Amino acid sequence: MHFLDVKDLKKYYKSFEALKGISFYIQKGEIFGLLGTNGAGKTTTIKIIASIIPQSSGEVYIDNNIITKSPIRIKSLIGYVPQEISVIPNLSAYENLRLIGKFYGVSKEKVIQTLKDIDLFDRKDSLVQTFSGGMIRKLEISMALMHEPKLLLLDEPSVGLDPNAKLSIWNFIKSRKQDMATLITTHDMNEAERLCDRIAIMKKGEIIAQGTIEELQTIIGRKDATLEEIFITLTGQTTEEDTQDISSIRNRRNTIKRLS
């Protein structure tokens, strides 16, 4: 069995079917992407896997364990980074990492080494509210990795960041992939191409195609097709309709500069 197995997952909100029986798997050392516009079901999927919300039916297996039957063990295996800000802005970088580290029995030495690894040691005593968006996101991902999880869940990891910050985040994620299974949600074609070993394209709660980019090209019968062309061909949509939601997320992230 794969490290993460999602089988026939469904989620209902009263009469609305947010997920319509999706299935996929992820191996260790692999980055798998859920690509789709707003409302496709990406965040719902990742929140179910993280045990934040329950599924209506179907099963999720992590390391051969059904998540609803082994919740404590499962949560110890997961690192989760939501779209929303997950740092405490009026604490320093060191204090944010140290706080998370205490929950998992991580030493001060490891916290210091982590700050060095993410090039924030020189800013370890600076309040996070003074950081750029890229620095914040890197710190958030590092916090999720403090306990050395085996499954990393990243919900829109680079949304709202400038191109240089995105590249830094992508390189950071790839540098940590080898010992984990990694799941990201994204609307960003470039992010999916740069990061993901395999991609599932979602539309209205369904996975309509999945595989490597080469396999997706074969599905539409065009070996030279870009991921964007594949996405438009299969969904009849572009990700431009996410603009309002992306702006909202960016605005939430910008509020960190105003918090104290």
Residue 146 has pLDDT above 50, yes or no: yes
pLDDT of residue 251: 57
User: How high does pLDDT run on average in the chain?
Assistant: 89
Each residue's pLDDT tens digit, 42-88: 999 999 999 999 999 999 999 999 998 888 888 889 999 998 888 99
pLDDT category of residue 33 using cuts at 50, 70 and 90: very high
Mean predicted confidence (pLDDT) in 91-99: 95
Q: Is 251 helix (H, G, I), strand (E, B) or coil?
A: helix
pLDDT category of residue 238 using cuts at 50, 70 and 90: confident
pLDDT of residue 252: 52
pLDDT category of residue 246 using cuts at 50, 70 and 90: very low
pLDDT category of residue 253 using cuts at 50, 70 and 90: low
Complete DSSP assignment for 125-165: TSBGGGS-HHHHHHHHHHHHTTT--SEEEEESTTTT--HHH
Phi, psi of 49 (to 5 degrees): -60, -35
Mean predicted confidence (pLDDT) in 137-160: 92
Pick 208 or 247 by higher pLDDT. 208
Residue 255 has pLDDT above 70, yes or no: no
Q: For residue 163, what are the contacts with CB-CB under 8 A and spacing of at least 6?
A: none
Edge-to-edge strand list for the sheet holding 57-62: 16-26, 4-13, 57-62, 65-66
Share of the chain above pLDDT 90, in %: 69
Tokens of 105: 């029995």
Q: For residue 69, what are the contacts with CB-CB under 8 A and spacing of at least 6?
A: none
H/E segment holding residue 107: none
Tokens of 26: 């992820």
Residue where the block lists tokens 């992939």: 177
pLDDT category of residue 245 using cuts at 50, 70 and 90: very low
pLDDT of residue 104: 87
| Positions of E strands within 15-87 | 16-26, 31-35, 57-62, 65-66, 78-81
Residue 248 has pLDDT above 90, yes or no: no
Options 3.40.50.2000, 3.40.50.300, 3.30.43.10, 1.10.3720.10; CATH of 4-255: 3.40.50.300
pLDDT of residue 241: 46
Q: Contact 175/100 with Cβ under 8 angstroms?
A: no
pLDDT of residue 168: 87
Share of the chain above pLDDT 70, in %: 91
Q: For residue 1, what are the contacts with CB-CB under 8 A and spacing of at least 6?
A: 61, 64
Distance CA 75, CA 249 (A): 26
Amino acid at 140: E
Strands 16-26 and 4-13: antiparallel
